[in-house]
Each structure stands twice: as C-alpha cells, then as structure tokens.
C-alpha cells in the first residue's frame, strides 16, 4: 500500500486544517503533516470541524519544516493555476487529480500531497522545490478553490491507493449479467410480436432497445421488473382480442 501523507503549509485558519483532517478520515488517509501551523486548540475550530478525525488524524499530526518536507517525501504540490504556458509557470506541465493515481501507484518511497495557504497558495519558490505539480481544473474566470475543497477533491481521487478494495463500492455487484440482458432482449422481441407490432419495424426497434439498455447499465432487478410489466401487458392485450 502506498504511503501518502497530507501536508498543509502555513494554514491561516485552524478550521481548514480540521476540514482537511475530516476529508482524510473519509477517504482513508491518516498521516497529517503541518508546516508553520496556527495553534490547534482541542476546544477550537480545528477539532470542531474535524468530525471523527478529531479522535485520530488531527491529534496525531506531525509538525515539520518545509526543508524537511522536501527532503523526506516525494512531493505533489497543488495549485489553482490551470492554463499557464510553459514560459510562465514555475512547474509545467502539471497533472490533474484524476491522473495521479495510476502514476503514484508505482512511485517509490513516501509521498506528500502539499497544500498551501488559503489566499495565495504555495509560493513560486516553494513550487520550484516540489517534485510535481497538480492542478484541479475549474472555470477560467474563477479557478481558485477553498483550501478544504481542494484537498477533499484530491483525496477522493486518490482514495483507491489507500483504501482496501473491500471498502470500495462494487459498481458491478448489481449490474445485470449478459445472460439477464439476453433474456430481456429475447422477451422484448416476443413482446413486440404479441402486440402485433409492425413486422417491418421490429428489427429497427430491437436495435434501438439494445442500444438504450446497453448504455443504461440496468440492474438484474430492474430487468426483472420490466419483464413483469411486459408479461402483464401481454396478458391484458390477449384478453382484449376479439
């Protein structure tokens, strides 16, 4: 499992540190590193915003210097700049959070995700000392994000590197099997016949049905319900025939 720390540089408000700690707890991260932090009162905003992270992530944080950070970790610095050219940006090109997991999965040694100040982020001098830059794409006319928001987005994208697979949602668990889909399509074709649907239109209509349900990724239960509706409609149509 990749060792990933979350580093916050010179945060101005304790509340943002608490928000980041909470996001860490949500997505399976535990190593919080602070550089030049404000005072964190156990009865103050940091602990108030941290949720369940007040029990472990936040009280177990480590305070280090920026020099120690860049010496001890492979650093990923987060910045709001998304459209700078190679001539203007200190570190270019950059990655997006969605692109990081595949690359970081093979990075050796400890990794630190580095977030800067609320108003100005990381300075150019700091960015120049960081190994990689990551930027969250946003609207060109307002690309800056709240410190806690930026960290939450990044941690969500990287959660697959630290959470056990058993804790990740299985998107295929309820999805209809190929056999269930084949049975549904066969039933749909029979249904069109039972309705006396124009024979010359049936093939085209079945292609449409296959495309729609192919995109929809229905569950097995959904297909079962739809087949029940078709069976009931078929019985009603049969009763009404002269």
pLDDT band of residue 82 (cuts 50, 70, 90) is very low
- What pLDDT, on the 0 to 100 scale, is given for residue 102? 84
Bridge pairing between strands 111-115 and 4-9:
parallel
What confidence tens digit (pLDDT) does each residue in 141-166 have? 887 788 999 999 999 999 988 876 54
Query: What pLDDT score was predicted for residue 215?
Result: 85
Predicted pLDDT at 171? 57
What are the Cα distances from residue 89, in Å, to 30, 42, 114, 192, 220?
31, 39, 17, 62, 51
Give percent of the chain above pLDDT 70: 89
Residue 192 CA to its chain's centroid (Å): 42
pLDDT at 128: 86
Q: What is the pLDDT of residue 106?
A: 74
| Bigger pLDDT: 58 vs 236 | 58
CA atoms within 13 A on the CB side of 218: 21
Confidence at residue 169, expressed as pLDDT on a 0 to 100 scale: 55
pLDDT band at residue 199 using 50, 70 and 90 as cut-offs: very high
Asked if pLDDT for residue 94 goes beyond 50, the answer is yes
pLDDT of 231: 94
In Å, the largest CA–CA distance within the chain is: 88
Phi/psi of residue 57, each to 5°? -60, -55
Regarding predicted confidence, which is higher, 11 or 171?
A: 11
Of 139 and 66, the one with more pLDDT: 66
- Looking at 38-42, 92-96, 202-206, which range is the least confident one? 92-96
Rounded to two decimals, the pTM is 0.70
Distance CA 68, CA 65 (A): 5
How confident is the prediction for the chain on average, in pLDDT? 87
Interatomic CA distance for residues 66 and 57, integer angstroms: 20
> What local confidence, expressed as pLDDT, does residue 242 receive?
64
Look at residue 170 and tell me whether its pLDDT is greater than 70.
no
- The pLDDT, as a whole number, for residue 83 is 45
Which range among 51-60, 93-102, 209-218 has the greatest average pLDDT? 51-60
């Amino acid at each position: 499992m990749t060792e990933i720390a979350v580093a916050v540089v010179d945060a101005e408000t304790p509340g943002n540190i608490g928000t980041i700690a909470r996001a860490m707890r949500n997505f399976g991260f535990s190593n919080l590193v602070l550089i030049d932090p404000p005072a964190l009162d156990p009865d103050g905003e940091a602990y108030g915003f941290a949720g369940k992270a007040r029990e472990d992530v936040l009280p177990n944080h480590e305070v280090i210097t920026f020099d120690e950070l860049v010496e001890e970790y492979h650093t990923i610095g987060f910045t709001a700049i998304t459209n700078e050219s190679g001539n203007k940006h200190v570190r270019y090109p950059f990655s997006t959070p969605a692109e990081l997991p595949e690359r970081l999965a093979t990075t050796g040694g400890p990794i630190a995700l580095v977030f800067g100040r609320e108003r100005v982020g990381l300075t150019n001098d700091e960015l120049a000392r960081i190994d990689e830059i990551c930027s969250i794409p946003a609207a060109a006319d307002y690309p800056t994000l709240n410190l806690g928001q930026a960290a939450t987005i990044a941690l969500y994208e990287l959660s697959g590197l630290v959470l056990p697979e058993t804790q990740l949602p299985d998107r295929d668990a309820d999805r209809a099997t190929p056999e269930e889909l084949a049975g549904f399509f066969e039933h749909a074709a029979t249904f069109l016949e039972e309705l006396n649907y124009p024979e010359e239109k049936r093939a085209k209509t079945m292609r449409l049905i296959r495309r729609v349900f192919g995109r929809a990724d229905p569950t097995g239960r959904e297909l079962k319900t739809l087949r029940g509706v078709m069976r009931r409609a078929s019985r009603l149509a049969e009763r009404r025939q002269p």
